[in-house]
Chains A and B, each alone.
Chain A
Amino acid sequence: MNKLWLIVKREYLIRVKKKSFILATLLTPIGIGALMIGAGFLAESSSKSDQRVLIKDDSGIVKSSVIKKSQMVMDFTDQPLDSLTKNYVKDGYDMALYIPAFTDLSNKKHAVKYFSEKKPGMAVIKEIERKVESSFKDHKIKSSEIDRDVYDSFAISVDMEDGSLKDSESDGKVSIMLGTAFGMIMGFLMYMVILVYGMMVMRSVMEEKINRISEVMISSVKPFYLMLGKVLGVGLVGLTQVAIWIVLIPVIMLIVQSVMGIDPQAAQMEQIAAVAQETDGFNIAEIFREVKAMNWVMIIPAFLAFFFGGYFMYSAIFAAIGSAIGDDMQEGQTLMLPVMLPIIIGFMMLQGVIRNPNGSMAVIGSMIPLISPIIMPARLAFDPPIWQVLLSIAILILTCVFFAWIAGRIYRVGILMYGKKVNFRELSKWIFYKG
């Protein structure tokens, strides 16, 4: 036990003390901050349009209605269409718009033509469409002699609310949105952890083999302990890094928010939460209340279980592969591909799972141990049935034990084996080699 501790300590300290670790740990949150500032600016600037549009309105409807103020410059002209299309650029406009006459009030479609040298963005087209539509709608209402108030009273908004919540509580959409965000973050985190730290274990085993230190080591430590110590040490490095990020990233986001005066999250949240599209915005207090109301007692231990389980399972496999390939990276790739496949499949399933966190794909995915460490953490914020969480963890633990055993068997042969072409058939033979 003492030896295992020594190995874990060495594997941990040697990495944590490295300059590259310190840099990566500190630069990643800063990078994310920079990315968010960029995304914030982009989101802001894409919502504004400084396009100049010259309009020939034969219907007279848009011209006579009051167009809401916007960044977009909209001027009207009476010149003939062919001279308009020839001259709008010369006159300093980005786009010309032709609105044909509108005679039949019962028409439900009306084609408006635009002319532009550069292809306009979707946002610009949508904005103009919205404006023209609203002018036409007003015109139709006026012409039909329906009272505007009566018409307005037809509008109704239906809100889906969580029936299990009390009236004083929010409608649950914020929690769905937060769950989606959490799900994405957790799923992605797991994917990263497995890949980055699993590879780290593999490289470290390869290095030991290439440096020919394996035999020196296992003349005083059992190979299984050497592998276990390495896996645990690197795992702790991962945990340290993730923990630092969990603290640093929100801090940097807060700083970005307060110093730059922009809300970097706003743009992202919009993207993440398709569910939240129609809501009229959340206030911070509500978000905080929802974050507090999440079932952290279940989420934190369960996340840690999947973090360690998923990492342990994959890094044991990566350690075994590292021991088998030594310095032949090319050979390693053919061995790694089948291991990477479930990780990638799990990651691809992630979006579907978040869209329907209690659907059959999510439930089945949670029970398959090779992908459950990515799928299940993504579901945690959606209050999955506790039995599913526990069953998923139990299956994962059993699989971990199984893979640790297999990896240990391969490792003990692999680290002493040089110059042998290794494939899966060979590896499976190693599992059954006697001591």
Chain B
Amino acid sequence: MNVLSLRNVTKIYQNHTAVNNVSFDVPQGSIFGLLGPNGAGKTSLIRMITMITGIDQGEIKLNGQNLNQNMILDIGYLPEERGLYKKMKVGEQLMYLAQLRGLTKQEAKHDINEWLEKFDADTWWNKNVEELSKGMQQKIQFIATVIHKPKLLILDEPFTGLDPLNTNLIKEEIFKMNRNGASIIFSTHRMEQVEEICKDIVLINNGALVLEGEMNAVKQQFKENKYRIEFDGTLPSHLKQDSFTIDRDDENGLVIQVLPGHDSNEFLQSLIQEGIHINSFQEILPSLNDIFIKKVNNKI
């Protein structure tokens, strides 16, 4: 079951196509990475999903139904361009945003207090937003995004401006909401975060989908048959190198690339035959960062 399905979605602004015929599915309950370089069309895509702008062609379905204004409260969106009313008090501001997102006054008050407590911010209610540090404001912003318990949460660069401690705090809350059934779309340039958090990804470039799939499958798809090996002693010089090449040689060991038509076992066997004691042998999968750069630069 997919929480979100995009079919041939296109958005055209005047003289350029921001999103070109994009289709993908976001499985229910997943943490989904929406990746792409600057100006790839991510924000345009998200704005269509959140109904901020309309779709020019194609369709978007939320829980199997075409998007409509009644679903606006099922989505929580933390835009990259975010801000708060600077002159408003934290409590008033959250109450206002929560009520705009369909909560009653009582519910809003109760839930906001709960969140503020969770974020060690229970004394902030009467503080003006402009008195808060950037990190503190980010927390308030996060609360405002999730206060109505959306089924689909779209987070665009959610950790910008947060220190590692607060990043972890928010990350934990995102995981918790995911465990409680919320599906999460996570848009960022920070590939290490995507690798850590996301299960599925899509990569968009120049408005079009260039890569899609489950994280490990994608990595497998782009692997280069590289292995790290650690052993005692040195590699005998007579060892034939027709089945592999040495990629890197450092004091911890070797990184080799097994040539096409051969496999890693051949290399291991030849070492064992030489009586070399092997400490470890591990396949090196490409990092998402490498895949991203290569794919965007069209090297693959």
Contact = CB atoms under 8 A, between A and B. Distances in A.
Interface of A: 3, 6-7, 10, 14, 208, 211-213, 215-222, 416, 418, 429, 433-435
15 contacts: A212-B82, A212-B83, A215-B81, A216-B77, A216-B82, A216-B83, A216-B97, A216-B141, A219-B75, A220-B97, A220-B101, A222-B69, A433-B13, A434-B56, A435-B54
Contacts of B100: 3, 6-7, 217, 220-221
B13 to A, nearest CB: 8
A6 B79 contact: no
B99 interface: yes
Instruction: Name which of B13, B47, B79, B83 has the most chain A CB atoms within 10 A of its CB.
Output: B83
A429 B14 contact: yes
A221 to B, nearest CB: 6
| Interface SS of chain B | loop
B73 A220 contact: yes
Contact of B83 (A6, A211, A221): A211
B141 to A, nearest CB: 8
A212 B86 CA distance: 11
A213 B84 CA distance: 6
A218 B85 contact: no
A208 B82 CA distance: 10
A220 B47 CA distance: 12
B83 to A, nearest CB: 4
Interface in B15-61: 47, 50, 52-54, 56
Interface in B210-237: none
A14 B73 contact: no
Interface string B82-100: 1111111000000011011
Nearest to B12: A434
B50 A6 contact: no
Contacts of A429: 14
A3 B141 CA distance: 20
B79 A215 contact: yes
Contacts of B83: 211-213, 216
B197 interface: no
B182 interface: no
B52 A215 contact: yes
Nearest to B96: A10
A416 B52 contact: yes
B271 interface: no
B85 A211 contact: yes
A222 B100 CA distance: 11
Contact of A6 (B13, B81, B84, B99): B99
B54 A14 contact: no
A221 B50 CA distance: 11
A211 B86 contact: yes
Interface string B119-151: 000000000000000000000010010000000
A418 B80 CA distance: 13
Contact of A213 (B14, B50, B52, B85): B85
B254 interface: no
B162 interface: no
B198 interface: no
Given A6-B96, A222-B69, 17 more contacts: A10-B96, A211-B85, A213-B84, A215-B79, A216-B77, A216-B83, A216-B97, A216-B141, A216-B144, A217-B100, A219-B72, A219-B77, A221-B100, A429-B14, A433-B13, A433-B14, A435-B53
Given A6-B96, A14-B88, A221-B100, A434 B14 contact: no
A7 B79 CA distance: 20
A215 B82 contact: yes
A416 B52 CA distance: 10
A419 to B, nearest CB: 12
Contacts of A213: 82-85
Contacts of A435: 53-54
Contacts of B101: 220
B79 A216 contact: yes
A244 B165 CA distance: 52
A222 B54 CA distance: 12
A96 B175 CA distance: 99
A226 B246 CA distance: 63
A222 B86 CA distance: 22
A3 B97 CA distance: 10
A221 B69 CA distance: 10
Instruction: Name which of B69, B81, B88, B144 has the most chain A CB atoms within 10 A of its CB.
Output: B81
Given A6-B99, A212-B82, A220-B97, A14 B87 contact: yes
Contact of A211 (B14, B84, B99): B84
Contacts of B88: 14
Contacts of B75: 219
A212 B96 CA distance: 17
B82 to A, nearest CB: 6
**A-B pairs with the 8 shortest C-beta distances?**
A435-B54, A212-B83, A211-B83, A215-B79, A219-B77, A213-B83, A212-B81, A220-B100
Contacts of B72: 219-220
A429 B100 CA distance: 31
A218 B52 contact: yes
Interface in B143-191: 144
Nearest to A217: B100
Nearest to B50: A219
Nearest to B53: A435
Contacts of A418: 81
A434 B13 CA distance: 9
A219 to B, nearest CB: 4
A434 B84 contact: no
B229 to A, nearest CB: 51
B236 to A, nearest CB: 62
Contacts of A218: 52
Nearest to B86: A211
Nearest to B101: A220
A150 to B, nearest CB: 80
B47 to A, nearest CB: 8
Given A3-B100, A14-B87, A211-B83, A219 B73 contact: no
